[in-house]
Structure 1
Amino acid sequence: MEFREVVRRRRMVRRYADTPVDPAVVDRMLEHAQRAPNAGFTQGWAFLVLDTPEDVALFWESTGADTGAHNTWLDGMRTAPVVIVPLTSKAAYLDRYAQPDKGWTDRSEDRWPVPYWFVDTGMAALLVLQTAVDEGLGACFFGVPAGHLDSFRDAFGVPDSHAPVGAITVGHRVADAGAAGSPARRERRTNLVHRGRWSTTVTP
């Protein structure tokens, strides 16, 4: 598939067909994710892959989906056969930039105007989403509720050194009923594009 077509087709898919995902495709997603740009070639990320019914069910349980409240959005998301959780390690970046070739002598967070440990892992997550489209699959990136981070960590033995940036459901798409959202959401948001000096007036 042409890259421009991958970009055009990518959208968040929130319901999946009852069809397993080829493990080789999941491997390609992770291979591509690790090609994401990352500050200092730190590669301070990790990817938790949940691809068995037991692990996927435990993910939803540990992140609060079984609280008893009916949620149509979650009902659809829980049909995904695979969940990938991108995690980031802030310590890896602080350690990397305290090395001699970076010219810093300490691990102070004050040197970081932007927390690139989150930025880089977010870009890696986008490559997972794009690879899903290229492979003819659907995927959705979403956040892990703050109130359930501890139960998620306990369920899968995630160390304190790594923080989940979000989670990605992956699966075969069900037949589309049409583009999601209002016409305004489907149009290009040119008011978010600024060229040169920041201005509320944008030239398309």
Structure 2
Amino acid sequence: MEFAEVLRRRRMVRDYDPDQPVPPEVRERLLAHALRAPSAGFSQGWAFLVLESAAERDAFWSATTTAGAPDAWLTRMRRAPLLVVPFSDRSAYLERYAEPDKGWTDRDPAAVAARWPVPYWDVDTGMASLLMLLTAVDEGLGACFFGVPGDRVGALRAAFGVPERFSPVGCVSVGYPGDADRRSPSLRRGRRGVDEVVHRGRWSGTDAH
């Protein structure tokens, strides 16, 4: 598939065929492509939790959702045969940038906050997640990136033995689209055009506030 076509087709898929697993070779390409993402200082401060068996996936949903009957969204999402949870590792970046070619040895929280006003460990892991989404499209599958509620992160770590230093940036569900897949009503807002969001040479428009 041409890259432009992959971009055109990319969307969040929220329902999956539970009877069609993701082929192992496709799963491995998803993960290998994620590792091609850029990272500050080539720190590569990411890790990926792969959940495929019914028991593993049930444990994920139990840890990250509240008790009670699932709503329509959760019912459809739980059909995904593959879940990949991308984690960022802040310490990997602090350690990398303390090396001689960088020299940021001060680990004081104020110094760290000043040097990293944008948490690149999360940004880079997010870019790795996007490569998985694009790979899924190229392989003829559907995928969705969604968040892990902040108050459920501890339960997620406990369920799968995740060390404290790793933080989930979200989860990528992957599978073949199901019959109930539908486009999000949010898309009715329309895609913003280039002229609305691109500022050439100087900020322009009426959104300066």
> In structure 1, which of residues 152, 163, 172 is the aligned counterpart of residue 176 of structure 2?
172
Q: Take 1:114 and 1:90, find their aligned partners in 2: how far apart are those partners?
A: 12
Q: Secondary structure at the match of 2:189?
A: helix
- Aligned partner of residue 88 in structure 1, secondary structure: strand
For 2:30, the equivalent position in structure 1 comes to: 29
1:114 maps to which residue? Answer: 118
* Alignment check: 8 A CA contact 2:98 2:104 kept: yes
Q: Displacement, 1:91? A: 0.6
Is the partner of 1:100 in helix, strand or coil?
coil
Q: For residue 103 of structure 2, what is the aligned residue in structure 1?
A: 103
Q: How many residues align?
A: 201
Matches of 2:144 and 2:64, distance apart in 1? 16
116-125 or 70-79, which deviates more = 70-79
Which residue of 2 is the match for residue 139 of structure 1? 143
Match of 2:79 in 1: 79
**What is the rounded CA distance, in whole Å, between the counterparts of 1:167 and 1:179 in structure 2?**
19
Q: What secondary structure, in the 3-state scheme, does the structure 1 residue paired with 2:133 have?
A: helix
TM-score by length of 2: 0.89
Partner in structure 1 of residue 68 of structure 2: 68
CA distance in 1, matches of 2:166, 2:13: 27
**For the residues of structure 2 that align with 1:182 and 1:155, how far apart are their CA atoms?**
33
Pick which of 186-195 and 92-101 moved more.
186-195
* Aligned mates of 2:64, 2:156 — CA distance in 1: 6
Task: Report the Cα distance in structure 1 between the residues aligned to 2:10 and 2:45, rounded to whole angstroms.
Answer: 26
**Which structure 2 residue ranges, 5 or more long, are not aligned?**
none
* Whole-Å separation in 2 of the counterparts to 1:99 and 1:127: 28
Identical positions, percent: 57
Distance 1:11 1:176, change over 3 A: farther
CA deviation map 1:157-200 (0-9, x unaligned):
01001000000100001248765436643434442333222222
Question: Which of 189, 192, 205 is residue 200 of structure 1 equivalent to?
Answer: 205
Output the CA distance in 2 between the equivalents of 1:54 and 1:184: 37
